[in-house]
Structure 1
Amino acid sequence: MPRKVTVPDFTESDEGTKHYKRFKGLDYSTDETQIDDSRSPRAVNVIADEGGFPERRYGWRTLLQFSDADGKAVPVAGIFPYENDSDEENLTLIVHAGSKLYAVKLDTDYKEVKDSRKELLDKLNSGGRSQGFYMHGKLFILTGEHYVVYDGKTAVHAVDDNAYCPLTSYQRKATGGGETYENVNMLCKWRKNRFIGDGTSTTYQLDVTGIDKDCTPTAAYLNGSAITVKSYDAEKGTVTFETAPSAPENAGISNFEVKFAKTTEDRKKVLGCTIFAIYGMDGSSNRVFISGNKEHAAMEWFSGLSDPTYFPDINYSVVGSSDFPIMCYLKAQGELLLIKKDNRQEGTIWHHSGAMLNDVATFPLKEGVPGYGAIAKYSSANLNDDPLYLSPRGVYAPTTTYYNNMQVRQLFCRSRRVNPKLCKERRLADAVAACWRGWYVLVIDGCAYVADGNQDKADNGYEWYYWTNVPAKVLCSHEQALYFGTEDGRVCRFNDDLVDENNDIMMNAFSDDGAAIHTEWATKLDTMNTPMILKTMPKRGSGVHLKAYTRSAVEIWVRLETDHGTLMKRVTADRLNFHYIGFERFPFGTVVNSIIPFLFKRKGWKAIQVILQSDTVDEGFGVHEVVIRYFIAKYAKRQ
């Protein structure tokens, strides 16, 4: 009998190559095997460069430290670069730390100028956060208990010390009457009445009764000559003069004025406010809107025209139910938006727009769409033209569009891909946000969620990134800089300014106060669309294209579906720079790319993930592409 001969199978295994490039942001929204090839399920402390490729975020450094008389650190409640500083060489920072307000000058290297620190004011409230705005060359600050102003020349003082004194009536006679004019200023106890003298009457009736007993009224002719006050009756609201004021040259025209005080509780309504917006008619920015008073949670007030010291007592709105406070302001498409606390009882988005009524500027209020309201008072910011705020279900944007000449208001979630992690964060109500370099930076409990406005929005919102070790209690974006204040009294800034003479970023920009920034970028856990087939990554054909820096050390980890990752090799992506010569790791290349083959093998896997990590201090990190070459082996037979 002839013997049966078995012929070996000499055919090659099926081969494939997977390229991961044109990277985008994070995706926590679903299983890490199901996300888009361009997104990462575990990116930490990276941000997209101008081309969209992930690189290590900027680090930060401490500029200032504040403490009390006993040397104990005090929390920073507000940071305000003084916009109208006459000192062109130095930057003045106004800092609210603890119960004090300071002015500190920083030189061009952001070092504190010797002997420049100046205490401006004491006995400010020491809790919470302060908000500041600029008008007419002055800085106005709301603390929740105080409303103060700084003009860069004299000491800071309470706004109500020199608030506008309104002329409440004119052309009054000795017995009263006349015409009403300006409304009472909630901030100012003083007000003025103008009278027509008759040459015989010595007692004149003011336009209110019950004036302050301890504040003597004063009087003067409109030409500036003083009139002596003999006595006054606070209860009746009358003023008696030594001699009768003379009659005017032009009959029926007011010729003298009386200034008197009548204190009310209205002042506390303004001083208790914690949020503001600058808004006005026809898109102008000439009025201040304020809210956030805990005792009047659903109320807001707005100032007189171009005068933040004048809050007429009739300039207010009650926004919906008093059970749910106004949380924040936003501007969008010429309207001022008010975002109320999240609730299911009423609309959470309200709209102001300016209108003239009987030659008086008014700001009628309209209820907008219902939906998720705000949870964090200081989370609102406009990223480019997109108004954003934090709700219990992520970051939302109220928008207005037009369809068939009809106005359509909608509310869109901008953070769907990071919501599974974001919405589980503790202390969401303490979140703070600022826009910087085209990013919306939202800091919660020491971690930052960053929306990249430099990349195109998709249906699920922005591309998002996640940063750790950002201990910000307050944020302040100024020009190209982002400052933050901490609970332990530090004022810090991010290191994007640390560049050389060629405007290249220096390596000391990549550290947090001298500490390493742990950085990761991972591909998806990829089955190569064949989850039931075992595969092998051969020794050759796979690799990573890293971005080269003066110093860059990267660990390459590979994770299979059966483990948590294995460190395969450590590589460097250095390039020669004569500013940084280290002979223990001397680079000979000068190119800005580093293409590194893996040269290791992994076999018998259903799914694979490449994880790039870096924990080195003062070193860059960036990735352009990851390539995995694989062979199809056999069908999987077990878990």
Structure 2
Amino acid sequence: MQQIPLYRKKFDRFKGADFSTDPIRVDETRSPRCRNLISDLSGFPEKRPGWRTLHSVDAPVNGLFFCVFKSGAGVFLAHGGTRLYAWADDADPAEICSGMNNAKSAAFAHGGKLYILDGAHYLVVKETESGLSVSRVADGECFVPTTVIGAPAAGGGTPFEGINFLTGRRINSMIGDGMSTDFILDTKPVAQVHSVKVDGVPKAEGTDYTADLENGKIVFGEAPPESAAGGGVDNVTVEFTALLPDGYTDRIEKCTVVAFYGLGNDNRVFLAGNPDTPNTDYQSGLDDPTFFPDTGITKMGSDTSAIMGYLKHHDTMAVVKEDNRQDSEIFIRTAEMTDDKKVIFPVRQGVKGIGAVSRHAFANLRDDPLFLAREGVFALVSEVITQQKSTQERSFFVNSRLANEPGLNEAAAAVWRSYYVLCVNGSCYVADGRQKTGNSTTEQFGYEWYYWTNIPARVFLEHDGELYFGTADGRICKFNTDIPGVSRFNDDGAPIKAFWGTKADDFGAFTRRKTLTKRGCGLLVKPYTRSSVHVYVLTEDGIEKMIRSKTMDLFGFADDIGAELNTDQPVQVVPFNTKVKKFVLLMLVFENDTVNEGFGVFGAELQYALGKYVK
């Protein structure tokens, strides 16, 4: 009897998901059917960590922050609903502020304080003797600019520092001439005069001078003399509060986008996101988030498209707007010093064609500046020779699913442990920064991507290698990477359904039927103290069938110690022990859906025979 020839097929390199094409066209290293897996340090897929609820606050969670205050104390803060909460270590959140805007917020730490932008208020959180206090920046000690210098008594002078959007308080530096008693300020009317000094000596109102608030004038009883340093030298200073136009402070308080940039280092704050001035951003003073001068305004392109976020790229700042059909979506800002030692930030048009769709998905993955567009995730890159900026697609393998998600404007992202984690509608699209596809030595590359479900993240916070998220129903959650062993593999106590499927494979002969032999087919799996696997086959008839289910506990009992691979825990082979007959196309799916079980795949090996031609 003639022996039937047998053939072998080996899958020994499992990577990420590929939703870009038909399952038959997928590269055999990727999966058209992949869920709730992540790459291990060697790039093989394993079950992602689960998450747990830590706290509950008012819904929804609009922001999660961490700040090290002046005392050195590290504190978590959550913006829930209209309230702000704070807690440290394992304590419960305590409310420290109410009356906030119920919308997603942004924050940054500076000088041992936390500054928060909620779209209606610009707040500062700082330490006091009794704990943390929260106040409007505009109600506190803002920087007081000297708006004019060298001003004669009749007014005028040289503009020096811009008016601070956050306060009407300012200083005029003027010149005493020994004859003039009436000194005209640079604006009128005036709300209040705080101090008047001549040659540095404070003068008393009612005794040395009177203030004409309506006309913006200081009237001295005796003319201030010339400066001892000589005529024409400033020796009269008046500090006062002017009446600001309605909505002046709103320019800053309605912002929700923040970034740092500067000449040589990131020593200035840039704000945007004000719906009243959508194409405008605001620059702070040097290393001072309490000073936003009215001379630091930059308008970029059409006011029909809003600034969505910022990306730092080498020594430039990219300002990314939403899609529009009139001008560039990306503008490039640089920092320069003029001949008179002033730092300026010129802006030029950059890239046309791709704009951002979410303000909450900007991140830098291993020096790769990423943002979310309607078409997928893109990076800002520089051409090698011309140094011109352009965008490169990074999410090719998942775009067909990602781009069809509703509500992309609400998507949130964070960089965590070399991964870019993007969440929308409870699903996460995860790029592995260690696994590049294409030409990884140039800018022409993508990433291996993974797809997670049951992640109800509305906002993210990465802190000290751990990933936290807030939900629409007011929960503050944390991924279980701090829990050792297999106890980390559950989502708030619920099982995680994880699986990896091969391509729909024709084994190089789509005109022939094939049969898997009962012996010689199996799966190489990663060892855990508790693990199991279900093996399914899916053929061209569309019917899915389980051919093997096996528990692979290493010690036969629930042991949370040593969940990772080591020399004492050899890999395990799971033979299929089932014949699969007369298929044209075959997809194998390896699944684990049990709570508190690990799961990882190293490879699969098949033995098959060729049958008759397809009729």
Q: TM-score normalized by structure 1?
A: 0.89
Q: Which amino acid aligns with 2:531?
A: S
In structure 1, what is the equivalent of residue 608 of structure 2? 630
How far apart are 1:199 and its partner, in Å?
6.1
Q: 2:34 aligns to what SS in structure 1?
A: coil
**Kindly tell me: are residues 549 and 397 of structure 1, through their superposed partners in 2, closer, same or farther at Cα, counting changes over 3 Å?**
same
Answer yes or no: is 1:605 the counterpart of 2:583. Answer: yes
**Kindly tell me: are residues 85 and 37 of structure 1, through their superposed partners in 2, closer, same or farther at Cα, counting changes over 3 Å?**
farther
How far apart are 1:258 and its partner, in Å?
1.5
How far apart are 1:80 and its partner, in Å?
0.9
Answer yes or no: is 1:58 the counterpart of 2:49. Answer: yes
Answer yes or no: is 1:34 the counterpart of 2:25. Answer: yes
The counterpart of 2:483, out of the listed 467, 482, 498, is 498
Contact 1:149 1:159 in 2 (8 A): yes
The counterpart of 1:186, out of the listed 138, 151, 165, is 165
**Kindly tell me: are residues 16 and 224 of structure 1, through their superposed partners in 2, closer, same or farther at Cα, counting changes over 3 Å?**
farther
Write out aligned runs for 1:154-553 (5 A).
Answer: 154-161=132-139, 162-197=141-176, 201-212=180-191, 215-221=192-198, 223=200, 225-229=202-206, 231-241=210-220, 245=224, 248-252=227-231, 253-262=233-242, 263-264=244-245, 265-282=247-264, 284-357=265-338, 358-403=340-385, 406-458=386-438, 461-499=446-484, 506-553=485-532
Q: 1:281 aligns to what SS in structure 2?
A: coil
How far apart are 1:133 and its partner, in Å?
1.2
The whole-number CA distance in structure 2 between the counterparts of 1:422 and 1:611 is 22
Q: 2:298 aligns to what SS in structure 1?
A: strand
Report percent identity of matched pairs. Answer: 38
How far apart are 1:98 and its partner, in Å?
1.4
Q: Deviations over 1:99-145 (max 9, x none)?
A: 12221112xxxx326xxx44322211112x11111222222111111
Q: Deviations over 1:241-297 (max 9, x none)?
A: 566556644443433422112213332111111101101013x11011111111111
How far apart are 1:198 and its partner, in Å?
5.3
Q: 1:269 aligns to what SS in structure 2?
A: helix
**Kindly tell me: are residues 165 and 592 of structure 1, through their superposed partners in 2, closer, same or farther at Cα, counting changes over 3 Å?**
farther
Structure 2 alignment gaps of length 5 or more:
439-443, 562-566
How far apart are 1:577 and its partner, in Å?
9.1
Q: Which stretch of the first structure deviates more once superposed, 422-431 or 167-176?
A: 167-176
Answer yes or no: is 1:124 the counterpart of 2:95. Answer: no
The counterpart of 1:24, out of the listed 15, 25, 30, is 15
Contact 1:415 1:460 in 2 (8 A): no
Q: Deviations over 1:425-457 (max 9, x none)?
A: 111111111100101111011110001101123
The whole-number CA distance in structure 2 between the counterparts of 1:87 and 1:414 is 39
Q: Which stretch of the first structure deviates more once superposed, 32-41 or 253-262?
A: 253-262
Q: Which amino acid aligns with 1:77?
A: N
Q: Deviations over 1:380-435 (max 9, x none)?
A: 111111111111111111210222xx323322111111111111111111111110
Q: Which amino acid aligns with 2:368?
A: D
Answer yes or no: is 1:618 the counterpart of 2:596. Answer: yes
How far apart are 1:202 and its partner, in Å?
4.4
The whole-number CA distance in structure 1 between the counterparts of 2:548 and 2:556 is 25
**Kindly tell me: are residues 621 and 435 of structure 1, through their superposed partners in 2, closer, same or farther at Cα, counting changes over 3 Å?**
same
Q: Deviations over 1:52-74 (max 9, x none)?
A: 1100111111111113xxxxxx2
**Kindly tell me: are residues 226 and 579 of structure 1, through their superposed partners in 2, closer, same or farther at Cα, counting changes over 3 Å?**
farther
The whole-number CA distance in structure 2 between the counterparts of 1:469 and 1:100 is 26
Q: Which amino acid aligns with 1:421?
A: R
How far apart are 1:85 and its partner, in Å?
6.5
In structure 2, what is the equivalent of residue 98 of structure 1? 81
The whole-number CA distance in structure 2 between the counterparts of 1:225 and 1:53 is 73
The whole-number CA distance in structure 1 between the counterparts of 2:239 and 2:459 is 42
The whole-number CA distance in structure 2 between the counterparts of 1:258 and 1:632 is 96
Q: Which stretch of the first structure deviates more once superposed, 538-547 or 147-156?
A: 147-156
**Kindly tell me: are residues 581 and 54 of structure 1, through their superposed partners in 2, closer, same or farther at Cα, counting changes over 3 Å?**
closer
**Kindly tell me: are residues 202 and 120 of structure 1, through their superposed partners in 2, closer, same or farther at Cα, counting changes over 3 Å?**
farther
In structure 2, what is the equivalent of residue 144 of structure 1? 119
The whole-number CA distance in structure 2 between the counterparts of 1:624 and 1:369 is 42
The whole-number CA distance in structure 2 between the counterparts of 1:26 and 1:332 is 28
Contact 2:530 2:558 in 1 (8 A): no
Q: 1:570 aligns to what SS in structure 2?
A: strand
Contact 2:15 2:44 in 1 (8 A): yes
How far apart are 1:195 and its partner, in Å?
3.2
**Kindly tell me: are residues 198 and 409 of structure 1, through their superposed partners in 2, closer, same or farther at Cα, counting changes over 3 Å?**
closer
The whole-number CA distance in structure 2 between the counterparts of 1:178 and 1:60 is 62
Structure with greater strand percent: 2
Q: Which stretch of the first structure deviates more once superposed, 255-264 or 32-41?
A: 255-264
The whole-number CA distance in structure 2 between the counterparts of 1:352 and 1:577 is 61
Contact 2:529 2:560 in 1 (8 A): no
Q: Which stretch of the first structure deviates more once superposed, 538-547 or 572-581?
A: 572-581
How far apart are 1:340 and its partner, in Å?
1.1
Contact 1:13 1:633 in 2 (8 A): no
The whole-number CA distance in structure 2 between the counterparts of 1:415 and 1:610 is 25
Q: TM-score normalized by structure 2?
A: 0.92
The whole-number CA distance in structure 2 between the counterparts of 1:15 and 1:312 is 78
The whole-number CA distance in structure 2 between the counterparts of 1:309 and 1:275 is 16
The whole-number CA distance in structure 2 between the counterparts of 1:460 and 1:336 is 22
In structure 1, what is the equivalent of residue 564 of structure 2? none
